[in-house]
Structure 1
Amino acid sequence: MRGGVGSWSGEESSNRELLGIIEAATITKEDDSWKYGNGGVYTVSSHYLYLYAKFLPPTSLTTASIESIRQIWRSWAPSKVVVFSWQALLDRLPSKANLLYRGVIRGEAEA
């Protein structure tokens, strides 16, 4: 059953790749630190901000909108409420108008 159902060749390849990465890692006696914010202390928030700055395009949000977003993410509200609020503030709710605009659905005239 070489390469068929129940084949381990894909996993073996992944394991070899992972072992190569691990073997290439340098181990030191230095303390671990997070170099992307908060004085070397890792937080989910600092990681989010790092990824946001690195991979998302510049925004035209106002300072007030940015502060509102910060307040939303600091909220103790349930995560579903936080995400909904964030999407609403950025006009990213999957409303019919937004879905039409993005080409996710077609207008009734085109259907």
Structure 2
Amino acid sequence: MQLIYSTSDLNFANRLARDLHAQGVETHVSNSHSSRMPGFGASFTPGFVGVWVIHENDLPVAHEVLIARGLIRPTDHQSPMSAPSKPGLSFLLAAIVVVVIGLLILGGP
């Protein structure tokens, strides 16, 4: 069993679990028993409500559901940090030159 999503909104967690179940993914919503206000059915969670996938072989489908709902990014979209653009690099270089000149003037005789 693996935690795939946590939230403070019990209703959202239950909707996500239903969406996963509709895709054939067996889930468990943790802390759901302690998150309802008696008599109202509203969600109130002082901590978090976890959505868990029971069977590890269902994780790829669960991740696709999370991606489709915009809750996580696809792994191929998580690119490493890119190099600064030329205008950004020029600004950074100019800022460094200004700081160095300022330090030389202030630190002079």
Please indicate the TM-score interval, normalised by the length of the shorter structure: under 0.3
Higher relative contact order (CA 8 A, sep 6+): 2
More helix by share: 1
Larger radius of gyration: 2
What TM-score comes out, normalization by structure 1 length?
A: 0.27
More strand by share: 2
